[in-house]
Structure 1
Amino acid sequence: MFSRWLKQYMPRSLYARAALILVLPVVVLLLVVGVAFLQKHLEDVTAQMTETATREVTLVLETIQKAETRQQVLAATRPDLTTLELKARFVDASQDPETGRRRWYDFIAPQVESHLRAGLPDLVAVALPSGDEARLYLETDLGLLQLTIDRRRLSPTAPHQLIVTMVFFAVVMTSISFLYMRNQLRPITRLSEAAQAFGRGRVVSYTPGGAIEVRAAGSAFLEMRARIERQMEQRTMMLSGVSHDLRTPLTRLKLGLSMLPEDEAAPLKQDVDEMQLLLDAFLDFSRGVAEGPAEAIEPAVLLRQIVEDARRAGHQAELVSVEGDGTAMLRPMAMRRAVENLIGNAVRYGNRAEVSLSLTPKTTRIRVEDDGPGIPVEQRTEAVKPFSRLDPARNQNQGSGVGLGLAIVADIARAHGGVLRLGKSERLGGLCADIIVGR
């Protein structure tokens, strides 16, 4: 329970967590040493020194009580004041004692004043200014007496020096540690950026560096990236090769069917056309996202072109809203194919398609909605798998295909480091398909 509560307040980045691990022990050490020093050393020494000064002042007060005039007081106390290194004079009681302003770092002054007041009942005020002298104002029968004493006799000299020294060197060493830690974390940051870029479909230059463990992770990432690229290339070459090789016998079949009577060739032509559609779908799936690298484009401009092309093709499509502006890193041809597939599905299983765009500082969302029958919740995971056909619910109209439309869209979204999400359109009642990628 406590760890779960603490987790929400912990920093998320590795640099911040490492900084916390580095700074927290230093701060705790400073606090422990500082408190121990104040309590065990400064307080005890200050109490002893203040008690000694209190006895000296009490001796002077006893001498004053035997005198009848101020002149007699000064004459009688002169030997004691010289021996004790004190200065005495009477001041006007009608004016407030001049206590002055304490030094902001003189944290031992309150304890000095507390001990003096406890040992001297006649003490009116204590002045502990920024100089080297302390002034005590005492009430006597002959008026207000001011005693001046060396401040070094009341408390240790510069009690703040130890704490200041500790804080100074702690800041210096912590700063040096931060610089070293930053250099150690930089290879991890570079590895993270390279992995994130590859997840979004971009290949950036990366060379392993840093500690042995980080170098090993970097080398493993490069090997994994190379294997994935080889597998994608092999998949593309295999499907492209198969599709290309099958086009030749299909062409011969079409040529042979053209020589047959129409009534005999019609069913066979339908089979050939279906095979042609299957090959075209294979080619689209094999190409995937292989058409050029990602580049900074304006998604709003791309969607307007796609919707306009769909209208010219006779589809009822409309770009209903655009929220936000700016550019995003996308593969234009791949993203065009994804949106065109969604629009094609929308008008195939419904009557209209509505496209919308939402740009935030972190994400780009392209939404396509239709008024068709939609896809049930339990079948949405199956719908994005290759060669998956949701008969008969999704194909109750003129729908036909080989089950690669949504699979291609999902593949393109993943290649951009994003995801394809399927839901129900609240506005049209049919399918709502969202392509969400990072910016």
Structure 2
Amino acid sequence: MGWFRPFRLIKRLVPRDLMGRSLLIIVIPLLLLQIITTWVFFDRHWDLVSRRLNTAVATEIGLIARLIHTYPGEAMQEWAFSVARITQGLVFTVTPGARLPEIPPQNSDPIERALARRMGSYIPYPFVIDARPGEDFLTVHMRVPDGLLSVELSKERLFTETIFLFVFWVASSSIVLFGVAAIFMRNQVRPMLRLARAADAFGKGREAPNLKIAGATEVRQAARAFNAMRERIRRQIDQRTGMLAGVSHDLRTPLTRMKLQLAMMEGVDGVDTLRADIGEMERMIEAYLDFARGTGTETAQTTDLGALLEEVVERHRRAGGRIALSVPQAIILPLKRQAFERCVGNIIGNAVRHGTRVDVRACPGGEYAEITVDDDGPGIPPEQREAVFKAFQRLETSRNLKTGGMGLGLTIARDLVRGMGGDIALLDGPLGGLRVRLQFPL
């Protein structure tokens, strides 16, 4: 499909941003119009004007040559040469017995070519033209019966400067129109760029000021819709957070009373079992609330990723985990601190629970900061790696929370990471177990 290649090349050359494409839509027709207009003008104007100018000069030279041939004599010759010099600006000289000089034609000089075409029709003598490139004058040598007749004239008589003025005004007007178009297009594109930046910041969980309503009607409508959508989402998050706070309080109050009652029943059979059941219920409630709470209303703050990772890893080390941390260089980025600690804590906790060795590494990678958590545990089969992100999905089929958990850890982790504009993936690890890769936007 070789005929697709030019289209692919054009597609690669076309700008990808809206500003560039909009200017291209304006500039291409403008350039085509100017090129066509200039070409038509040059083709007609240059040919017509140069033909008439060269015809006039050739006629004047031919008239003087015939006049001195028809009426020989020094007096007539001097009078004719004087009239030609005063009225036409032609300087004639006669060299008796001289031969026609050998001057190669300057085929690249359009003035010489145009004059040579006209001279052949009005002068009955052999002639050559010495165009003298770079000079303001040229000389026409003619072999007349008495010797060599030469005439010197200014090149300005053979062309007009209106052509260059036309080109200058065409180029100037094109530059001015292009500048005006660029200013107007920039003002139209700027509100769309603000909308894109605001949507990107909101999608990454970062605080952004209200979007200014500006631009064309469609852009204003999109900005109003975005502001309304953002307010609805914020109200929904606030309502959910308030509801969860009430649910947490209502559930913990009776559990606290039950724990107090059990404390007064020391020595009674079955108290330890009931106390374990209450502890399990508290852990279940915390897991449910963490899952439903998500990122909450926490705002992102500029954070030293290495220092924060050190705090999270140190807590798991105190709990007995063998964890190696590597942060080769300082990484500063906006993060929701509590959400990050909960997310990475879940990942490292899973790695410590299922393996004996855990390696944690953080490094910048383009637009994202990348964190990898490797363990030497049994890992997760590739076909089940997407399923474990579903709520209450447990690879361990028993209902023992100590071995299988609630099945919400990875669900909460992905919800938190995506709430900060990042992503999470499960891969094969270099230690033989699982690698968890976290990406957070810089």
TM > 0.5: yes
Q: CA contact under 8 A between 2:396 and 2:404: conserved in structure 1? A: no
1:115 aligns with 2:150: no
Q: Distance in 1 between matches of 2:349 and 2:147?
A: 105
Aligned-residue offset at 1:168: 1.0
Map of 1:217 onto structure 2: 222
Residue number in structure 2 paired with 1:265: 271
The CA distance in 2 between the partners of 1:250 and 1:416, in whole Å, is 34
CA–CA separation in structure 2 for the residues paired with 1:286 and 1:414: 15
2-side partners of 1:143 and 1:199: how far apart? 94
Select 1:316's aligned residue among 300, 308, 322.
Answer: 322
The yes-or-no answer on 1:295 pairing with 2:301 is yes
Work out which of the residue numbers 171, 179, 182 in structure 1 matches 2:183: 179
User: Is 1:208 the equivalent of 2:213?
Assistant: yes
After superposition, the Cα gap between the structure-2 partners of 1:6 and 1:269, relative to the gap in structure 1 and judged at 3 Å, is farther
CA contact under 8 A between 1:63 and 1:76: conserved in structure 2?
no
- Cα–Cα, structure 1 residues 85 and 309, in superposed 2: closer, same or farther, change >3 Å? same
Residue 30 (structure 1) shift:
1.0
Query: Is the 8 Å Cα contact of residues 204 and 422 (structure 2) preserved in structure 1?
Result: yes
Distance 1:397 1:68 in 2: 130
The residue type paired with residue 51 of structure 2 is A
Q: CA deviation at 1:317?
A: 1.2
Residue in 2 that maps onto 1:436: 439
Q: Give the Å deviation of 1:335.
A: 1.3
* Cα distance in 2, alignment partners of residues 80 and 34 from structure 1: 39
2:194 is matched with which residue? 190
Map Cα deviations across residues 155-211 of structure 1 (whole Å, 9 max, x no partner): 233311112112212211221222222222222222111111111112311232222
Structure 1 counterpart of 2:130: 125
Q: Structure 1 residues 7 and 269 mapped into 2: Cα distance closer, same or farther (>3 Å)?
A: farther
SS at match of 1:8: helix
1:116–1:374: structure 2 CA closer, same or farther, 3 Å change rule?
A: same
How many angstroms apart in 2 are the aligned matches of 1:246 and 1:344?
26
Identity, % of aligned positions: 34
Question: Does the 8 A contact of 2:142 with 2:150 survive in 1?
Answer: no
SS of 2:334 mapped into structure 1: strand
Letter of the structure 2 residue corresponding to residue 111 of structure 1: P
Q: TM-score, normalized by length of structure 1?
A: 0.83
Answer whether contact 2:362 2:372 (CA < 8 A) is retained: yes
Q: Corresponding residue for 1:28? A: 32
TM-score by length of 2: 0.83
1:152/1:348 CA distance change after superposition, 3 Å: same
Secondary structure of the structure 1 residue equivalent to 2:141: strand
Could you tell me which residue of structure 1 aligns to residue 159 of structure 2? 155
SS at match of 2:270: helix
Matched to 1:264, the amino acid is G
Farther off after superposition, 355-364 or 252-261:
252-261
- Is 1:81 aligned to 2:84, yes or no? yes
Would you say how many aligned residue pairs link Structure 1 and Structure 2? 422
Alignment of structure 1 residues 312-351 onto 2, 5 Å: 312-322=318-328, 324-351=329-356
Q: Which amino acid aligns with 1:371?
A: D
* Corresponding residue SS for 2:283: helix
Q: 1:398 to 1:287 in 2, by over 3 A?
A: closer
Indicate the RMSD between aligned Cα atoms, in angstroms: 3.6
**In structure 2, how many angstroms separate the alpha carbons of the residues matched to 1:145 and 1:384?**
101
Offset, 1:60: 5.0
**How far apart are residue 319 of structure 1 and its match?**
1.3
Deviations 1:376-430 (A, max 9, x none): 233222222232222349x9996332122112221221121121222221x1122
The alignment partner of 1:16 has SS state of helix
C-alpha change, 1:336 and 1:22, in structure 2 (3 Å) is same
Change (3 A) 1:15 1:308: same
Verify the 8 A CA contact 1:294 1:331 in the aligned structure 2.
yes
Shift of 1:5: 5.4
CA distance in 1, matches of 2:198, 2:262: 54
The 3-state SS of whatever aligns with 2:215 is coil
Q: Give, in whole Å, the separation in 1 of the partners of 2:149 and 2:322.
A: 102
Q: Which runs of 5+ in 1 are unaligned?
A: 100-108
Give the 3 Å change call, closer, same or farther, for CA 338–68 of structure 1 in structure 2: farther
Determine if the alignment matches structure 1 residue 244 to structure 2 residue 244. Answer: no
Q: 1:246: how far off? A: 1.5
Q: Which moved more, 1:236-245 or 1:402-411?
A: 236-245
Q: Distance in 1 between matches of 2:431 and 2:200?
A: 36
Letter in 2 for 1:340: G
Label 1:231 to 1:429 Cα distance change in 2 as closer, same or farther (>3 A). Answer: farther
Shift of 1:224: 0.8
For residues 432 and 345 of structure 1, the distance between their equivalents in structure 2, rounded to whole angstroms, comes to: 11
Query: Which of these residues, 133, 137, 141, is aligned with residue 138 of structure 1?
Result: 141
Map of 1:409 onto structure 2 = 413
* SS of alignment partner, residue 159 of structure 1: helix
Distance 2:417 2:245 in 1: 21
Whole-angstrom distance in 2 between the partners of 1:167 and 1:254: 88
